[in-house]
Amino acid sequence: MKLIKDIREMQLFSMETRKQGKSISFVPTMGCLHNGHISLLKKGRVLGDVLVMSIFVNPIQFGPKEDYVSYPKDLNTDLIEAGKHEVDVVFSPAAEEMYPNGYETYIEVQRLSKPLCGLSRPGHFCGVATVVAKLFNIVKPNIAVFGEKDFQQLTIIKKMIRDLNMETDIISVPIVREADGLAMSSRNNYLNKEERKAASCINTAILKGKKLFDEGINKTEIILKTVRNIIEIEPLITIDYITICNINTLEDLIIVKDKAILAIAVKIGKTRLIDNCVLEKGEA
Ligand code: AMP
């Protein structure tokens, strides 16, 4: 396995790989790898000849009061993990190389970036779209793998690909969860024992919402009220949003006809966590 930190070196590697007729699959991450990331790597491994993973904590997707500085970083442990999962190249550039003095180009997927997480994290998805576009220009992947946990991010990246005629295929992977249902996240490391215990109610609430839908309730107001009640019982949790929205436009729905997404964002102490599930007729 190769560790590449230099942007030009990564570009040359990718150009040479593609010149040899080999395909590149790509898994972008911010490191602190857990089993959610590993499932992306497994998917990437089978989809491409050469598997590249990036580890880059992207400063421009964090707000001024967010956890950029404290975000968990442990490159050596991540490299060992990457090696176990047959990653060919780990690309881990320095922030100063990605955004040198005078950097001024940003990508904004305008409408999709506004609701849900966009409301409490203005600028976040602009940072995400920009770094993903830069990484795609550097790594030149045929295929890139993203997790469905960050479904708004996934929706935005797919839209960016279409709008900018980018040639990378986007593949998504289902949410990987802890034994009690909590979606795996590098930020789960921030939770103390009580907070971690409280966090399990996020998935409990989502599953209850899905059950109601599967039983035939399609009025979002009813489902959302039940989901909200389950989370509000937990004194350690503050709800950012709970919504049922159109899977493509992210617009709130009053009735679910065939398919929608139930999405939640909460804060537990200082830790912001998100989760979601698809509601789909005939899926139960
Ligand atoms: P991150 O390192 O948090 O930026 O995540 C990198 C990639 O891993 C993103 O595509 C995430 O959606 C994905 N990911 C994070 N957590 C999970 C999870 N629990 N299950 C599946 N994918 C995940």
pLDDT digits (tens, 9 = 90+) for 196-211: 999 999 999 999 999 9
Dist. CA 150 → ligand 1 center (Å):
7
**Percent of the chain scoring above 90 in pLDDT:** 99
CB distance 134 to 106 below 8 Å:
no
pLDDT at 283 over 90: no
Per residue in 67-114, pLDDT (tens digit) is: 999 999 999 999 999 999 999 999 999 999 999 999 999 999 999 999
**Percent of the chain scoring above 70 in pLDDT:** 99
Q: Is the pTM of this model over 0.95?
A: yes
37 lines ligand 1 (CB under 6 A): yes
Q: Mean pLDDT in the chain?
A: 97
Dist. CA 93 → ligand 1 center (Å):
19
26 lines ligand 1 (CB under 6 A): no
Catalytic residue among 34, 37, 85, 124: 37
pLDDT for res 282: 83
pLDDT at 284 over 80: no
Q: Which of 146, 272, 277 to mutate to test the pocket of ligand 1 (most atoms within 8 A of CB)?
A: 146
pLDDT at 134 over 70: yes
Q: Residue 184 and residue 52: Cα distance in Å, rounded?
A: 22
Q: What is the band of 179 on the pLDDT scale with cuts at 50, 70, 90? A: very high
Active site residue 37: yes
Greater model confidence, 85 or 283: 85
CB distance 51 to 87 below 8 Å:
yes
pLDDT for res 83: 97
Task: For residue 2, give the H/E element and its range.
Answer: strand 2-4
Distances (CA, A) of 37 to 75, 162, 177: 14, 25, 11
CB distance 125 to 109 below 8 Å:
yes
44 lines ligand 1 (CB under 6 A): no
139 lines ligand 1 (CB under 6 A): no
CA dihedral 225, 230, 236, 238 (to 10 degrees): -20
Dist. CA 219 → ligand 1 center (Å):
30
Q: Residue 181 and residue 187: Cα distance in Å, rounded?
A: 15
User: Which parts of 84-152 are beta strand (E)?
Assistant: 89-91, 143-147
Q: Which of 25, 26, 29 to mutate to test the pocket of ligand 1 (most atoms within 8 A of CB)?
A: 29
184 lines ligand 1 (CB under 6 A): yes
Dist. CA 40 → ligand 1 center (Å):
8
